[in-house]
C-alpha cells in the first residue's frame, strides 16, 4: 500500500474503531453471566470476531441484530469438538487460558495464527499450573497450540514482576472459580478495565492499597448479572489521528466517544509533554469516563519515557513517529515487553526509522530516536498492525509504501477509510 503526503486536515471523527480490549472482555465475561447480554458498538475486527466464534463454540448463543451483539451464556461450558481459534489476539488467548483452566473436567485447545503461536504464554500458564491447572503446549506450555484440561483450582497469592493487564485478567478469571479467595500483586498498575467491569457486574474484587497494585478476588457464589453496555471508541486507535494532527501543520482533530481511563490515555499525556495542544472533556460516565479529545498541531520537542510503560505499550510505535518528527533525542526505556508483541516492535521501529533516514539507537528495553530529515521509503510491517498504521501516519507527511498492510484489519478495519476521509491519497 502506498500513501501520498497531504498538507493539513481538520476533522471531527466519530467512527473511530471501538475499543478492542473492552470488546474482548465483554465477550468473554458474558460467559460468567446468567441471562442475555447486550453489547452496542462491539468491535467487528478480525481479532474480536474470533472471540465471538470461540464463545459460540463454548455453548453461548450469539446473534447480531442491527449491529447490536446479543450473547446468552450456556448453563454450563462443555468441551467443544473443535480447536478454539484466537486469530492474532494475545488478549483472547491469555484471558481464555485463565478462564478455561478452571472449568472442571472439560478439555480445550487454543491456537492462533503464525504470529500469535510464537508469542509467550508461560507468563499465564506457569502461575496457573502452580495452583492446580493442567496446561500443556509447546516449549513447556509457553507456545500455542495450548491444551487445557480444566480443574478445580486452589486460591493463590501471586506477584507479577511485569505489569500486564492480560496476565492480571487471566488470573482474576481463574480466581473467580477457585476454591478460596486469591491475591494478585503487580509491580505497577496495569490497565484496570477488568476489575472495574467485573465489580460492576457483581464480582468482589477489592483493592488492598492506594496504588491499586494489590487486589483480593473472592470466588463467585453464583453467576453474575447480565449486562447492557455500549463499547467506547479505542484511545489506542484514536491516537493515530492525534499523532497525525500533531505532525501536520495547521491541523486539528476532535476524537469523539473515546475511553478516558487514565491507564489508556498515557500516550496523549506524552504528546502533551512534547508540546502538543490537547484538551479533554467527559461526556459520559456509565462504567468508565468517556468523552472527547481535541488535538491541534504543534512543534514537538524530544522526551524521555521510562515509567508507566504498561499504560502506553500499544502506542509506543506511534510515539516513535512523533519522536522522528520532534526536535532533539527522545528515549524509551523499560519497554522490553515490546519484544514479544505481534512483532518485535523495538526491532521493527528501529529498522524502519533507519530506512527513513532517522538516527536510531537500539537498546534491549527500548530505543533512542533523534528527530531529523525524513525520506519516503518502503516499510516492513512484520505483519504487525501497529507498525503498519504508525508508518502510514508518517506517510501523511512524507509519503510511504507499506508491505503487508492487510494486518491492519485485525484491530482497525476502517482505518484506511478514515485516512481517506481526512484527505489521504492511498493506492496499491
90 is in an annotated binding site: yes
**Which of 313, 359, 318 is closest to 336 using CA atoms?**
313
386 is in an annotated binding site: yes
Report the CATH number that the domain containing residue 128 is assigned in CATH: 3.65.10.10
> Among residues 157, 314, 403, 428, which one is catalytic?
314
Indicate whether 366 and 269 sit together in one domain. yes
Residue written as grid cell 485485525: 410
Active site (annotated) includes residue 113: no
- Domain end point (choices 195, 230, 265): 230
Indicate whether 307 and 318 sit together in one domain. yes
Query: Which pLDDT belongs to residue 428?
Result: 73
Segment 327-341, tens digit of pLDDT: 999 999 999 999 988
Determine phi and psi for 76, rounding to 5 degrees.
-150, 150
Indicate whether 6 and 64 sit together in one domain. no
Segment 47-102, tens digit of pLDDT: 999 999 999 999 999 999 999 999 999 999 999 999 999 999 999 999 999 999 99
Indicate whether 103 and 197 sit together in one domain. yes
Segment 168-191, tens digit of pLDDT: 999 999 999 999 999 999 999 999
Indicate whether 82 and 115 sit together in one domain. yes
314 is in an annotated binding site: yes
> How many domains are there within the chain?
2
- Domain end point (choices 177, 206, 230): 230
d(CA 280, CA 292) in angstroms, rounded, equals 6
pTM confidence score: 0.87
Beta-ladder partners of 64: 69
Indicate whether 225 and 293 sit together in one domain. no
Instruction: Give me the percent of the chain exceeding a pLDDT of 90.
Output: 93
94 is in an annotated binding site: no
Contacts for 334 with CB less than 8 Å, ≥ 6 apart: 306, 307, 309, 365, 366
Burial environment of residue 185 by CB neighbours within 10 A (0 to 12, 13 to 18, 19 or more): middle
35 is in an annotated binding site: no
d(CA 305, CA 128) in angstroms, rounded, equals 32
Query: Which pLDDT belongs to residue 287?
Result: 76
Indicate whether 24 and 101 sit together in one domain. yes
d(CA 18, CA 40) in angstroms, rounded, equals 10
Indicate whether 254 and 226 sit together in one domain. no
* Residue 143 CA neighbour count, 13 Å, CB half: 9
341 is in an annotated binding site: yes
d(CA 301, CA 244) in angstroms, rounded, equals 16
Average pLDDT, the chain: 95
- Domain end point (choices 230, 264, 295): 230
**Which of 240, 271, 266, 233 is closest to 387 using CA atoms?**
240
76 is in an annotated binding site: no
Indicate whether 43 and 187 sit together in one domain. yes
Domain that holds residue 38: 20-230
d(CA 107, CA 150) in angstroms, rounded, equals 6
Amino acid at each position: 500500500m502506498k500513501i501520498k503526503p497531504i498538507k493539513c486536515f481538520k476533522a471531527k471523527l466519530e467512527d473511530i474503531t471501538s475499543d478492542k480490549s473492552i470488546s474482548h472482555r465483554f465477550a468473554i465475561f458474558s460467559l460468567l453471566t446468567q441471562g442475555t447480554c447486550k453489547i452496542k458498538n462491539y468491535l467487528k475486527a478480525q481479532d474480536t470476531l474470533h472471540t465471538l466464534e470461540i464463545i459460540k463454540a463454548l455453548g453461548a448463543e450469539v446473534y447480531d441484530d442491527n449491529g447490536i451483539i446479543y450473547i446468552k451464556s450456556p448453563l454450563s461450558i462443555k468441551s467443544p469438538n473443535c480447536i478454539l481459534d484466537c486469530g492474532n489476539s494475545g488478549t483472547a488467548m491469555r484471558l481464555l487460558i485463565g478462564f478455561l483452566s478452571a472449568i472442571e473436567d472439560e478439555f480445550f485447545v487454543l491456537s492462533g495464527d503464525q504470529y500469535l503461536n510464537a508469542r509467550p504464554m508461560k507468563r499465564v500458564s506457569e502461575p496457573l499450573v502452580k495452583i492446580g491447572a493442567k496446561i500443556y503446549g509447546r516449549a513447556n506450555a509457553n507456545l500455542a497450540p495450548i491444551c487445557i484440561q480444566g480443574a478445580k483450582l486452589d486460591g493463590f497469592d501471586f506477584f507479577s514482576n511485569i505489569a500486564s493487564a492480560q496476565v492480571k485478567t487471566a488470573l482474576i478469571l481463574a480466581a473467580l472459580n477457585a476454591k478460596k479467595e486469591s491475591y494478585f500483586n503487580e509491580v505497577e498498575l496495569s490497565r484496570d478495565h477488568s476489575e472495574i467491569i467485573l465489580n460492576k457486574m457483581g464480582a468482589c474484587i477489592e483493592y488492598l492499597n492506594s496504588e491499586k497494585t494489590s487486589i483480593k478476588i473472592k470466588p463467585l457464589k453464583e453467576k453474575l448479572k447480565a449486562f447492557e453496555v455500549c463499547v467506547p471508541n479505542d484511545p489506542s486507535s484514536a491516537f493515530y489521528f492525534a499523532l497525525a494532527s500533531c505532525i501536520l501543520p495547521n491541523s486539528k482533530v476532535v476524537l469523539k466517544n473515546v475511553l478516558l481511563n487514565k491507564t489508556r490515555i498515557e500516550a496523549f499525556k506524552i504528546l502533551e509533554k512534547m508540546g502538543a495542544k490537547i484538551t479533554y472533556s467527559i461526556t459520559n460516565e456509565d462504567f468508565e469516563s468517556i468523552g472527547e479529545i481535541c488535538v491541534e498541531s504543534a512543534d514537538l520537542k524530544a522526551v524521555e519515557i521510562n515509567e508507566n510503560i504498561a499504560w502506553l505499550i500499544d502506542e509506543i510505535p506511534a510515539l516513535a513517529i512523533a519522536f522522528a518528527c520532534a526536535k532533539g533525542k527522545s528515549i524509551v526505556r523499560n519497554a522490553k515487553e515490546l519484544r514479544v508483541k505481534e512483532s518485535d516492535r523495538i526491532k521493527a521501529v528501529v529498522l524502519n526509522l533507519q530506512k527513513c533516514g532517522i538516527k536510531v539507537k537500539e537498546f534491549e528495553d527500548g530505543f533512542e530516536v533523534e528527530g531529523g530529515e525524513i525520506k519516503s521509503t518502503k516499510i516492513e510491517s512484520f505483519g504487525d498492525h501497529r507498525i503498519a498504521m504508525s508508518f502510514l501516519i508518517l506517510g501523511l507527511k512524507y509519503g510511504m509504501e507499506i508491505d503487508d498492510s492487510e494486518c491492519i484489519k485485525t484491530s482497525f478495519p476502517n482505518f484506511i477509510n478514515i485516512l481517506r476521509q481526512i484527505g489521504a491519497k492511498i493506492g496499491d
